[in-house]
Structure 1
């Protein structure tokens, strides 16, 4: 009898847990957001995120709340002998959470771990053509986003990007834009959008802008966005995101339609922070 009661209670707790989970998660996150933001963290964010002092007060507070949730839910792992410090965690979280200021609330749904190397790291690449392995080689990397549950970063590159905010290159923004893109399991340059009607407009604008970038690069013309964005649609979205946050004025001037599309998606206007 006692065993049966315990079993029923356990089943009940599981059922309650399943249905209450989203609400409980939201409540837990709301409590984390209400915690006072440590002054030391505030100094770190200002040091690594040059636009931080220019954010509106409401945006700074939202960013602080997102950082606290992010640090509680994501695991940081040092690689290549690196000891990940609190400063590193806060710096990376601040840049990543800049993409979440529109309150999408998913906190990079699939992401579980951030692997951090001290500098450039190397991976084995296999080139396959048809059914045959064409080449195996060692490739240098500064960052990458895995569709499963990990982002990999070079801490040296994170520091370099923080010191050169206006150059349009930022490995954290780039890889976490990939995470947004990969939430549906595919890396195709199309993140989840607020409304179904948004997808047709997104496809039209992004395709036109991608093709224009490819043409400009082929002609050797100077471009606002890095030529790496010509690799494929997924890389174009990631590069466009970097440019949107780091070179908003130039992007708005040269590519107003693209800027408007990213502004609608991120629900932010970085030009106001310049």
Structure 2
């Protein structure tokens, strides 16, 4: 008897199931850090020099927090999947800086691995066209795909000027962090979401909006919606904490409690 169509279909189904099982096993090994051949390597002195010069906020940290940050950065750049599309330059430096920005944002938190919200980071050379929402982007966070996407040129600009309150990496990972904490019952997630609701109330307060407009401390993009307001505020919080605390002390205290981090106090 020859091989029938049913036999071929059965073989195809078995191969599909086996390949899917292999994918699940590999994913679990990676997720729970069971792969002995993929251990994080400590940052080199050169890498530490790069991130301290590109992200001066790190120089505000005491030695203990700095060491915690460097350890987390090492984990993040090793465990997260980075994909570069097209002729992207300085790949290793971008991987290092993106990892540092995400870990700085969560330095005061126990949950820093973005396991629920970020599975992949994709970097294009410049502005790219998204087939999902059919728009051109400089950066975005895709909730469904658990993916953060960047345009490399704008990503690098965010690290060239450290006090202009524009940092694409901080901005997009702020979106991811909101979804990371949403629906979780841990104390820090509940505290984070309580702070987020407080920010929502601020954004609906006319006097607060008026103050935002009069000072021009936050760029206009913060007015789009609460999620963008939060992301822009995170950029300001990380880059110019002294000005933030002076001009918007209530909001500054809210973010400080959400992140369990006070860069102004450490300065």
TM over 0.5: yes
**Higher fraction of strand:** 1
State the shift of 1:202 in Å.
4.3
Helix, strand or coil for the counterpart of 2:166? coil
Q: Which has the higher contact order (CA 8 A, sep 6+)?
A: 2
Say which of 174, 177, 181 aligns to 2:178.
181
Q: How many Å separate the matches in 2 of 1:88 and 1:208?
A: 36
> What TM-score do you get using the length of structure 1 for normalisation?
0.73
C-alpha contact 1:48 1:159 (8 A) present in aligned 2: no
State the shift of 1:215 in Å.
3.3
Q: How many Å separate the matches in 2 of 1:83 and 1:250?
A: 34
Q: How many Å separate the matches in 2 of 1:42 and 1:181?
A: 28
> What TM-score do you get using the length of structure 2 for normalisation?
0.75
Say which of 166, 171, 174 aligns to 2:168.
171
Distance 1:252 1:124, change over 3 A: same
Helix, strand or coil for the counterpart of 1:167? coil
Q: 1:100-140 CA deviation, whole Å, 9 max, x = no partner? A: 211322411231111111122233586xxxxxxxxxxx643
Say which of 82, 90, 95 aligns to 2:96.
90
RMSD: 3.4
Residue matched to 2:73: 67
Say which of 221, 240, 247 aligns to 2:240.
247
1:215 is aligned to 2:222: no
Helix, strand or coil for the counterpart of 2:109? coil
C-alpha contact 1:66 1:100 (8 A) present in aligned 2: no
C-alpha contact 1:37 1:64 (8 A) present in aligned 2: yes
1:53 is aligned to 2:59: yes
State the shift of 1:191 in Å.
11
C-alpha contact 1:78 1:84 (8 A) present in aligned 2: no
User: How many matched pairs?
Assistant: 236
Helix, strand or coil for the counterpart of 1:194? helix
Residue matched to 1:258: 251
State the shift of 1:171 in Å.
0.4
Distance 1:239 1:191, change over 3 A: farther
Distance 1:163 1:228, change over 3 A: same
1:155 is aligned to 2:191: no
C-alpha contact 1:193 1:199 (8 A) present in aligned 2: no
Q: How many Å separate the matches in 2 of 1:253 and 1:159?
A: 28
Say which of 100, 104, 116 aligns to 2:123.
116
C-alpha contact 2:182 2:189 (8 A) present in aligned 1: no
Q: How many Å separate the matches in 2 of 1:153 and 1:124?
A: 15
Q: How many Å separate the matches in 2 of 1:184 and 1:233?
A: 16
State the shift of 1:273 in Å.
4.9
Distance 1:158 1:273, change over 3 A: farther
